[in-house]
Amino acid sequence: MTLEVSLAVSDAEREWGRRIRHAVFVVEQAVPAEVEVDGLDPGCAQFLVRAGGVPVATARARVTGSGYKLERVAVLPLHRRRAVGMALVRHMLETAPAGVVVYVHAQEGALGFWERAGFDAAGPSFEEGGISHRLMRLVRHVREA
């Protein structure tokens, strides 16, 4: 399976990302739609993964007061455990601003994935959208300042 990871720049690509996020977070994980749609998309870098030309995963990233936050990472169920999510995160890290802290609010069920991507948990569990999360920070720097 050929994977293509890119910035979602067109309205159509961003719409695919919204559809994937809705399917994963709202439908599958029962995150309230008003939590998932937070109004921050316009200020975020948005990413889309295609497998064989078909959109199968998405994520967004943004600069915050704490660093560069990777968020809304969503892979459609049929494409999980096929390195799609890792390809997406690696691409996001390659395009992250140099010299900033990179972090994520990881769902507790995905801590192992984020550890394999080079992140370490920091701090206690907390809830977002009805799901338990942990703050994780990148420990293996992909890009230097």
Q: Is the pLDDT of residue 143 over 60?
A: no
Q: What is the CATH number for 90?
A: 3.40.630.30
Does residue 142 carry a pLDDT above 50?
Answer: no
Q: Given a cut of 90, is residue 5 above it in pLDDT?
A: yes
pLDDT digits (tens, 9 = 90+) for 10-50: 999 999 999 999 999 999 999 999 999 999 999 999 999 99
Q: What CA–CA distance (Å, rounded) separates 29 from 47?
A: 21
Q: What is the pLDDT of residue 139?
A: 74
Number of structural domains in the chain: 1
- Residue 81 banded pLDDT, cuts 50, 70, 90: confident
Q: For residue 27, what are its two tokens?
A: 């439908």
Range of the domain at 39: 3-138
Burial string for 71-94 (b: 16+ CB within 10 Å, else e) reads: bbbbbbeebeeeebbebbbebbbe
- Give the pLDDT of residue 141: 52
Residue 76 · residue 42 · CB < 8 Å: no
Nearest Cα residue to 26 out of 35, 14, 16? 35
pLDDT in tens, 45-64: 999 999 999 999 999 999 99
Residue 143 is assigned to a structural domain of this protein = no
* Model-wide pTM > 0.95: no
Nearest CA to 2 out of 87, 95, 122 is that of 87
Q: Which helix (H) or strand (E) holds 62?
A: strand 54-64
Q: Is residue 28 part of a domain?
A: yes
> Could you tell me if residue 145 is inside a domain?
no
Q: Rounded to an integer, what distance in angstroms lies between the CA atom of residue 55 and that of residue 52?
A: 9
Residue 144 lies in a domain: no
